[in-house]
Structure 1
């Protein structure tokens, strides 16, 4: 009596089966769950600490002209220096002795005064008014250095942690399947490219889910601590970061899987994944050290491996034109497709080769 061999699953169904397997294995991993919880708690703690620090900050030093003193609703939390006229007030602001100045201005209805600041009006001062008074900036355009640095660290570290964590686990799982010979069973049922696509898809779903949760934590946290102005500036950059991260992660995931397929032992993973790890770490250090350098940020925003960090940062700073993220995204998608094709070739040609490390030239030739 002959037996009928069950039909192989369709391509899309097979990809999703592999993706489900990847997602399930990660969610059952205590290390992954614990690291994810720590990441979320760390992000929440950072926002809470920042909010408490803002609330507990010392009195804001301001200069006030004599004609504006009676107009102030309150001086609580303010260190007031009374000056005779506007020129004296602006001099104190320019010299950095006060954060802002309040000068009498009969035309500034309904307050009767104007706030003068060097680059931006102190938030602690602005929050004291039910309505926003007129503000004049002496040296406009520069984003607050502390905020710029905080946002740079945020974009950089989220990309670094997510890409390195999931990338290394993809490479490790590929090597584990080679060592246990599970891959031979899988390849007998589905194509190598299907297996690769499923791995990339499963890990991408988890990585993007983490990014969305972190974005939700940031939005809720900034709202709770009253940083709605900062939230308004971060809204569009966060959305662009999620889009860029999606394609950037797919690019890196395909390369990590290919790098893992080139070795047969866990101890050898570092030798093939090291160049990719450098590509993941570079945007983090560049955006930390050069967040105030428009030339470096512009270059980063068009290089595929750093665009997920560089372009959202430039959008936050208001240095990018509306069409620039579209061009950068097109370059990233084209690079992503090329990386998937190259990664799939290396993966397919190396997956069943056991023993010594497969040379890159051999993996590409087959």
Structure 2
């Protein structure tokens, strides 16, 4: 059996196990429901344009320009009855006079008000709410996926050591092939889940009445997020496998995996808490551990030059290769030590 065939065999085994795992299937369904709900619910709650009854031709042009649904009626009594029946939110009588049931209709009053022209020197291209929620969603997605799947890799390695299955596996396939197959399978699953969520989100925004400017901003951010996600996940996945191999029991995993946990947690919170600090965001978009989160956010906000994501991606790729080598060496040096927890130094020396 060649190394490639061994990697493919291990990856196929891992994929079969995970695809039958109810927790994985439920989590995918849960994330899909969240994505669909975040797109559909705002349009559903909004309920379309407000309906206004109008007597005569009073301010019809202003109401139409404000995207309100205008319903012409012959007299004031009919208009008031429509308001009482709940068929319209408000009525406009000659005068003009606005009639509503319980509360002043702000949309109608605003449409009839005369406001001075406003000229913005630096207009914001994206709604402030979206400028907060989209970066937060991208950061949360990378954090949850890399942490959850990474921890699953470490737990899987420890379980194989505890049950001594690893001894059988190593006798059949090389250690490097075992590690590569495991990381490849989990990376493929994680990327597949993220790609599915991104596709559903993009299609949902396209078929609903989402502003095209939002789609134009989100599209490139998602497109760049995927390669950053893959390289960032691979960079961390081998380290997760390495720290998993250091542990002899599941109870040891908390302490052996602490450095990798910090490598995921600290960049996540740093990017979120420093969203308004452009200088900090720019620096973090080139640091490998934070660039999978920071760079897509800067691209969404329009703060990154065309060359910046390419350079950041190259830095991330080089770092991923280096950490792959480190994680592989730790994994090789500690995998067969099933009786006691292995230190980093001991694993490093044992692999030499």
TM-score by length of structure 2 reads 0.80
1:145-194 per-residue CA deviation (whole Å, 9 max, x = no partner) reads 21111111110111011111110110011001101111111111221111
1:262-285 per-residue CA deviation (whole Å, 9 max, x = no partner) reads 011111111111221222223332
The corresponding residue for 1:74 is: 65
Rg larger in structure:
2
- Assess, with a 3 A threshold, how the Cα gap between structure 1 residues 331 and 211 changes in structure 2: closer, same or farther: same
The corresponding residue for 1:147 is: 130
The corresponding residue for 1:160 is: 143
- Assess, with a 3 A threshold, how the Cα gap between structure 1 residues 300 and 55 changes in structure 2: closer, same or farther: farther
Q: How does 1:1-366 map to 2 (within 5 A)?
A: 9-53=1-45, 73-75=64-66, 76=68, 77-78=107-108, 79-80=110-111, 82-83=113-114, 89-90=116-117, 116=118, 137-141=120-124, 143-227=126-210, 228-366=212-350
Instruction: Give 1:307 shift.
Output: 0.8
1 CA distance for matches of 2:252 and 2:61? 74
- Assess, with a 3 A threshold, how the Cα gap between structure 1 residues 139 and 179 changes in structure 2: closer, same or farther: same
> Which shows bigger deviation, 249-258 or 46-55?
46-55
Q: Is the 8 A contact 1:263 1:355 kept in 2?
A: no
The corresponding residue for 1:97 is: none
Which structure carries more helix by proportion?
A: 2
1:236-286 per-residue CA deviation (whole Å, 9 max, x = no partner) reads 110110000010000111000001000111111111112212222233323
Instruction: Give 1:43 shift.
Output: 1.8
> Which shows bigger deviation, 41-50 or 236-245?
41-50
1 CA distance for matches of 2:158 and 2:278? 41
1 CA distance for matches of 2:16 and 2:251? 25
1:54-91 per-residue CA deviation (whole Å, 9 max, x = no partner) reads 557999xxxxxxxx9967743424513644xxxx714x
Q: Is the 8 A contact 1:237 1:313 kept in 2?
A: yes
Q: Is the 8 A contact 2:3 2:177 kept in 1?
A: yes
* Higher relative contact order, structure no. (Cα contacts within 8 Å, ≥ 6 residues apart): 2
Q: Is the 8 A contact 2:271 2:290 kept in 1?
A: no
The corresponding residue for 1:106 is: none
Gaps of 5+ in 1: 1-8, 60-67, 91-115, 117-135
Q: Is the 8 A contact 2:164 2:338 kept in 1?
A: no
2:129 partner SS: helix
Q: Is the 8 A contact 1:156 1:283 kept in 2?
A: no
- Assess, with a 3 A threshold, how the Cα gap between structure 1 residues 186 and 221 changes in structure 2: closer, same or farther: same
2 CA distance for matches of 1:234 and 1:319? 14
Q: Is the 8 A contact 1:262 1:363 kept in 2?
A: yes
2 CA distance for matches of 1:314 and 1:173? 35
2 CA distance for matches of 1:43 and 1:141? 25
